[in-house]
Amino acid sequence: MLFVFLWINNTNAQIDTNPSVARHIKITAADSLVSIKETVKTQLYKNISKKQSNPLRLLVTNANKTAGSNIGRWVAAKQQKDLYRIDLAALVSKYIGETEKNLELLFARAEEKNWVLFFDEADALFGKRSNTETETNPGVAAFIKYCNAFKGTVLISCTGDDCTNSILKTKFIVVNVK
């Protein structure tokens, strides 16, 4: 008698099937016409043209959900790639090591599919948990490590200073929507 065991990682299943966690957006040529401010478009053109051969890392600040999504769609259309929009708040886990495991699975899949990654609501990962916490958040370190190792384009949307301060120490280009 042959027994087959199937182990399903619930987190991985969430990434693929739960639209509130992540959503694959098939990009068309029309997405390059989405409405974004001219000042933002100028910043993006300047940075995309400089970084054609290198991975592009963008930190979108002060953007509402619609503006952030439009910027992600526009960048993906300009690079002729599909967009994968991830609600970072949904990937963050209270259990030790789970956030890192979720990120590892996500970045591996995105590398395989050649997606532009758009992390929405990144403040959930970068926000301070308490005033007494003295050690750094291991989820932030893992996130930055995976972003730096990823060969494609990464966009992060956040509004808080904690996120901006953590990201500014890396190779991300800040695009301010205000």
For the chain, which domains are there? 10-127+136-159+166-176 (3.40.50.300)
- Reported as a pLDDT band with limits 50, 70 and 90, residue 83 is very high
Residue of 117 and 42 predicted with greater confidence: 117
pLDDT at residue 17 is higher than 80? no
Helix (H) or strand (E) holding 155: strand 154-158
pLDDT at residue 37 is higher than 90? no
Alpha-carbon span 170 to 168, nearest angstrom: 5
Dihedral of alpha carbons 167, 168, 169, 170, sign? positive
Q: Which residues pair with 58 in a beta bridge?
A: 155, 173
Q: Is 147 helix (H, G, I), strand (E, B) or coil?
A: helix
| Global confidence as pTM | 0.77
| Cβ atoms of residues 116 and 152 within 8 Å | yes
pLDDT at residue 158 is higher than 90? no
> What integer is the mean pLDDT of 139-156?
88
Full strand arrangement of the beta sheet holding 173-176: 22-25, 83-87, 116-120, 154-158, 57-61, 173-176
> What integer is the mean pLDDT of 148-166?
83
Alpha-carbon span 25 to 83, nearest angstrom: 5
> What integer is the mean pLDDT of 13-41?
71
pLDDT at residue 15 is higher than 60? no
- Average pLDDT value over all residues in the chain: 76
pLDDT at residue 8 is higher than 60? no
